[in-house]
Structures are given as structure tokens and as C-alpha cells.
Amino acid sequence: MKGTFSPTRLAVLGAALLLAVPACQRDLPPDAAYRALVRAMAERDEDAAWDLLSSATRERLEARARVAASAAPGVVPPRARALLAGDAALAVLPPASIVVRESGPDRAVLRVEAPGAKPQDVVLVRERGGWRVDLPAQ
């Protein structure tokens, strides 16, 4: 019969749609990627938060975690990923306003304002198929 799909075609179509959904979520615009990081931190979802950080940020956080763990063995986890779900999550304030100040193919700068905090610029870089928050070295 014309216009009907066989079970095999439906299965292939369904699989293609399922694969397309995560791809769309990975390519969030910069402001949505930042909001997703804030949400992941607030929900203490360390895997989601870690995935939304740039490679350079991850490396810096891993180095800090190793130093902190060696200074306080057994108190501070040696993995930075675990720190994202700990007390650091409590310091994250949901943004009241996000304005895209700069946007290019591989770098964006957001002006983020949160209640009770100074406005700050947040840099995002395009890596691993999407926007990642690149926290400043401190």
C-alpha cells in the first residue's frame, strides 16, 4: 500500500529521530548553554555540569582539586567533577538577565546579571560540537 511504512522503516525512522534530539540539545545557543550549566549546578548534576565546561576550565579545576585534596586528604575529593555537586553548587545564582555581548563562530561573551551579585562577563567557546563555558583562571 502506498504511503504506509513497514515496521522496519518505522524503526529506522524512530532511531533517526532519537539520534537527532541529543544533537539538537548539544548545539544550544550560548545563553541557553550557560543556563543549562547553572541548572545542572543547582540540581547537583555533576556529569551535565562537567560536560558544559570548556577543556581549559576542566583542566584548571582538576589541577585545583588535586591541590586541595593533597592539602586535606579525605576531606576534599580529588576529582573536580565531584566539587561541582558540592558546596560550589550553593554559590550558583540563577541569572536574572543574560545579554549576548559578542558572538562569533567559536567564541561568545555573555553579560550575566544575577540578583544580589555584580554583573559579570562569561566567555563561552565552541568545543565538542557545542558551546562550553570557559571560566577565567584565578
Residue 59: pLDDT over 90: yes
Integer Cα distance of 56 and 21 in angstroms: 27
Higher pLDDT, 53 or 69: 53
Strand order, beta sheet including 120-127: 97-103, 107-113, 120-127, 130-134
DSSP designation for 85: T
Residue 4's pLDDT is 44
pTM value surpassing 0.85 = no
Integer Cα distance of 30 and 19 in angstroms: 22
| CATH code at 29-134 | 3.10.450
Residue 77's pLDDT is 67
Residue 29's pLDDT is 96
pLDDT tens for residues 78-111?
A: 677 776 766 666 667 789 999 999 999 999 999 9
Residue 74's pLDDT is 73
Dihedral (Cα; 89, 60, 117, 37), 10-degree rounding: -50
Integer Cα distance of 113 and 20 in angstroms: 33
